[in-house]
Structure 1
């Protein structure tokens, strides 16, 4: 297999280096081998996300995170045997080995099964004013701002189309006619696009109440229309489907460095002193998977923010999960973000 060498890694490699290997190969997996090419383990996107959730350092060794007892198949096994094992174990890749457990190839589920179009709907939020990007947004809605010669919203749609999704809703408010005119009904991408219009801003969750409820039967995507990311949306869908929960919120690690010494105290007495500490948080990345019951719960015309809806679900003992995003991600909220997008887009997207 021509891509095999590109996914073989040493157990001593760092997670940061392993992410580069996984991203470059496009196979979503790395095979951990020793010098004789014996399979020691596997490392997937999911393994790395779980490590991030444990706040493991990106300089940690692959051996700390890898799956040490991966599923493998003999290279002599039939296609039917390999497919049956992958489907029963719900895995996307399986290393092919010889009798001595040395790697000789890899089989992917996508190679074995024809890609199918997915029925999950995608709601893209494109109604904001984009005030922090004025004067660029004075006469243009932010999702239509051009990055690398293409509107942000088109880049988002094309990423979803590539992933196999064909049912779209676009929420509009500010300069809605410009969005409709530019994006159209989706025929040029062979997809279906419907619009829901907010006469007045309804908050980040209010557009859910405008959706045709009878058309939301599967978990749906919801994403801000001003984000650039090369996240694999099928990974997010697989994660959501494999974890019980009414919603999955994509999160991004955020680092905050305090430029001063921080002092904790007990009354007048200093209990600790830390010089210029760094704190790590998970922030909302503006990409969601929602079970149908969430849009079903929002009345038409209700003004509500999505975090409020999710808090209500959690108060009702419903699970809301988070999905760490380590891929390229940029929230184009301010002028410096827009300028950064212009510099970086050609290296990340096909524009």
Structure 2
């Protein structure tokens, strides 16, 4: 049996959100500490990384952050290193990254704390490296079925009619790989979102790659997603 190769890349988990879409479940509980099966969501996310050889983690915390810190502590129970980014104010989806002291130039992975996935991070990192990207954004194919007949018209004239069409789009899966130099584009200790960083990097001419995943992925930030994950957990994870 081959020994699991350890990966020195930092993994940053964004777990500072208020969980407004999940109220009242999040009135007294951090969104990422809600349980799927017998484990908090955040523990499932961590375990998936651990199984793939990652051991250096930062968790960005704000709302109910002490619950997270008291549960995971320094990560020794899982054989990993956990540091915490304490957001004294809401800093958006990228602002807290400016508070990390990077000790090397390895790319880091950023993932939202309300995303469950079986994504192969080896494949993702190989893709990022192969394409020499400054940032890689993970996308997931998402289909929406319109439950009505859709008409196409010109003026008053009906041109076509399609019964219950399915529209397909590539959505942002909330998972990113960033080169260390990309972090330098983030204002220090300020509210800043990843979409702002992406727009800034694109304006600067930086190459941002898109990795289209076909693995299991679900957003548990909504009640529908949370309940679906509870059904899936034992088969998927």
Q: If the TM-score is normalised by the length of the shorter chain, which range does it land in?
A: over 0.9
Kindly state the Cα deviation for residue 277 of structure 1 after the two structures are TM-superposed.
2.0
Residue number among 201, 214, 227 corresponding to 1:313 in the alignment: 201
Kindly state the Cα deviation for residue 124 of structure 1 after the two structures are TM-superposed.
0.2
For structure 1, the 5+ residue unaligned runs are: 1-109
Aligned to 1:303: 191
| TM-score computed with the length of structure 1 as normaliser | 0.64
Kindly state the Cα deviation for residue 285 of structure 1 after the two structures are TM-superposed.
0.7
Structure 1 residues 1-351: aligned runs within 5 Å? 115-212=4-101, 214-349=102-237
Aligned-partner SS, 1:280: strand
Structure with higher Rg: it is: 1
Kindly state the Cα deviation for residue 118 of structure 1 after the two structures are TM-superposed.
1.1
Kindly state the Cα deviation for residue 265 of structure 1 after the two structures are TM-superposed.
3.5
Q: Which has the higher contact order (CA 8 A, sep 6+)?
A: 2
Q: Distance in 2 between matches of 1:155 and 1:276?
A: 37
Kindly state the Cα deviation for residue 227 of structure 1 after the two structures are TM-superposed.
1.5
Kindly state the Cα deviation for residue 116 of structure 1 after the two structures are TM-superposed.
2.5
Kindly state the Cα deviation for residue 205 of structure 1 after the two structures are TM-superposed.
1.2
CA deviation profile, 1:89-143 (whole Å, cap 9, x unmatched): xxxxxxxxxxxxxxxxxxxxx95xx543111100000101111212221111011
Which structure dedicates a bigger proportion of its chain to strand? Answer: 2
Q: Distance in 1 between matches of 2:129 and 2:50?
A: 20
Kindly state the Cα deviation for residue 271 of structure 1 after the two structures are TM-superposed.
4.1
Q: Distance in 2 between matches of 1:271 and 1:236?
A: 44
Kindly state the Cα deviation for residue 336 of structure 1 after the two structures are TM-superposed.
2.5
CA contact (8 A) 1:211 1:295 kept: no
What is the RMSD computed on CA atoms of the aligned residues?
A: 1.7
For structure 2, the 5+ residue unaligned runs are: none
CA contact (8 A) 1:121 1:216 kept: no
